[in-house]
């Protein structure tokens, strides 16, 4: 095995993340319609997936505590990410539009970097040191992801609804 092959597993995810970030940055420059009536779809879908995961292989022991902690972290991070989204109401049509802010994109990049650091730590003995297994880590990440998605959508929904109500009063 030559020296370059050892770098491929590390460079490939970095390249993919860079490509995804570049595409998201490019797509994020324009306003997109935000439909309040469909904001529940993604959280509902993710809730079904999380419920299936937890019902088939529920955490045990400290795994539940870890899931509760990561759920709290996910809720806080999701709320913050939702706050970073730009939401605007067209005063004439009352159409709701949103655009992810550059800070929201950098926020996701930071989360990916933290995830990568944790993954590397676990690969180098961190899981054994913390007495964690892959199922427990999957449960914890699922709880955090669920919290992130749900809190972000709730924050955006509440803010967009308040902006729409204010625009309707002015009209």
Residue spans per domain, the chain: 94-171
Per-residue model confidence as pLDDT tens for the chain (171 residues): 444 556 777 677 777 777 877 777 777 677 889 999 999 999 999 999 889 988 888 888 888 999 999 999 999 999 998 998 889 999 889 999 998 777 766 776 776 676 667 667 766 665 555 566 777 887 888 899 899 999 999 999 999 999 999 998 886
Residue with tokens 């509902």: 44
Please tell me the distance from the alpha carbon of residue 83 to that of residue 29, in angstroms, as a whole number. Answer: 17
Please tell me the distance from the alpha carbon of residue 29 to that of residue 3, in angstroms, as a whole number. Answer: 40
């Amino acid at each position: 095995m030559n020296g370059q092959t050892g770098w491929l597993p590390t460079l490939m995810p970095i390249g993919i993340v860079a490509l995804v970030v570049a595409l998201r940055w490019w797509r994020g420059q324009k306003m997109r319609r935000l439909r309040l009536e469909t904001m529940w779809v993604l959280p509902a879908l993710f809730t079904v997936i999380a419920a299936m995961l937890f019902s088939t292989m529920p955490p045990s022991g400290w795994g539940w505590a870890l899931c509760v902690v990561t759920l709290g972290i996910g809720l806080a991070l999701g709320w913050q990410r939702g706050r970073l989204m730009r939401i605007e109401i067209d005063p004439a049509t009352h159409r709701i539009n949103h655009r992810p802010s550059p800070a929201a994109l950098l926020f996701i990049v930071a989360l990916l970097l933290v995830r990568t650091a944790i993954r590397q730590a676990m690969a180098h003995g961190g899981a054994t040191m913390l007495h964690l297994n892959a199922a427990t880590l999957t449960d914890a990440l699922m709880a955090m992801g669920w919290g992130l998605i749900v809190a972000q959508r709730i924050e955006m929904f509440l803010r967009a609804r308040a902006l729409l109500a204010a625009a309707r009063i002015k009209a």
